Chain A
Amino acid sequence: MVTTNWWLWLAAFFTVSIYTVAFADNNLFRFVESIFVGTSAGYMVTANWFNYIKPQLLNVQKGQYVLLIPFLIGLLVYTRYVRSIAWVSRISLAFTLGYGSGFILSKNFRPDFLTQVIATFRTLDTFNNWLLVFGVITSLTYFLFTVEQKGVVGYASKAGRWVMMIALGAAFGSTVMARVSLFLGRVQFLLTEWMFLVK
């Protein structure tokens, strides 16, 4: 007993075709891989159209003509394909980089820096708190490029590297497990929704 919903057949076909690469690279995988790249690019464009461009175009239609300026700035980036006026595309880049830099220096500063520093100031009453403060300080020492890394700084930097290796190991383990979850999800789809083998 297999589903008669041809949409699910399509999803199952894509799933099984991609997994064939586990045995060897083959044309079926490359075919589906090309569909993946194409549909993803198509989705990205349409998502931007529906979420940002279309609503703002409607606002222009309602009389907010000032919004034509960002449309112009955005379209200027395509001048990079015309060699003689390619420099004009710098205006678009300049705008986005200006906004991004301002964002990093203002809005990002609190959550990414201040909050992290404040959270590190803990009462040193437990081993874990000591270890956490020690780990943060030694990790930061590793990024001290203006001081020669020898003596105490060298030892601290080495300890920091070890702490960061633990963090990266944990991140790696989590990533693997996330991928395993995705794999189980696809197998579950094939066995339950497509083949009705498991209820």
Chain B
Amino acid sequence: MKGQRTGALRRISWTTLATQVLLWGYAAIVLFPLLLVVSSALRPTREIFKNPVGLPKSPSFDSFVRAWEQANFNVYFFNSLLITVSSVLLATAVAALASYMLGRYTFTGSRFLTAYFLAGLMLPFRLAIVPLFLLLNNMGLIDNRLGLILVYAATGIPFSIFVLSAFFRQLPRELSEAARIDGAGEFTIFGRIMLPLVRPALATVIVFQFVPLWNDFFFPLVLLRSTNKWTLPVGMTRFFGEFQTDWSTLFAGLIITTLPLILIFLLATKQIIAGLTAGIEK
């Protein structure tokens, strides 16, 4: 009896140990390169080449200044911010309006419209780049930040409607009923009563659109020509050619590009996880 119990205990502690080793081991594989980037950005390139894995002797932010000023990161950063924020706000605004109607009411065609919007979740829209390029060219929007904003906003609509219409559907109807009796119009009910109630969903939608747009490389590569309109990912391709031998600055550039995302992640971990598992979590 006693032998059996210690056997079971030993088995449990072995699996526990193996689990811990796996969990921490993989965490190290994830974190090591990220920490090394930070450490390397603070060291001069000479030092990195002598010893690639090491801590900065006298940490210096020179590399960040070089990336920011000489490598044009100030320009790219501003463009990325302008384009991403505008697209996210535009997509969220129009998606919230449409989701309200689709989530709250049934009318002729409402089912079809919902399906039509949700189909976009599965469409590989990068494959539409040739007609899109010609369309924007006809509108005079090639090499124009507005063109990119419109395209980005369009790509954000399916996911936003997917999340927001589900939220609108769940709100109790008594809320709008009371307001309607008081004579409130549809826009008032939407703006004053319903919208504030779906704030958590709005946060999810905003955060979840921000990340892929901030990181997108394909569309600005094709749609923007002048370097003074480039976003960070496109700027990065030129940067890695020009600063090939200046690793310290390269690492600083990687950090500058990623910094807003880290901030978002720290502020909105919950929304990101909710967005990733949308449709699966109970």
A and B physically associate:
no
B-side interface residues toward A, CB under 8 Å? Answer: none
A-side interface residues toward B, CB under 8 Å? Answer: none
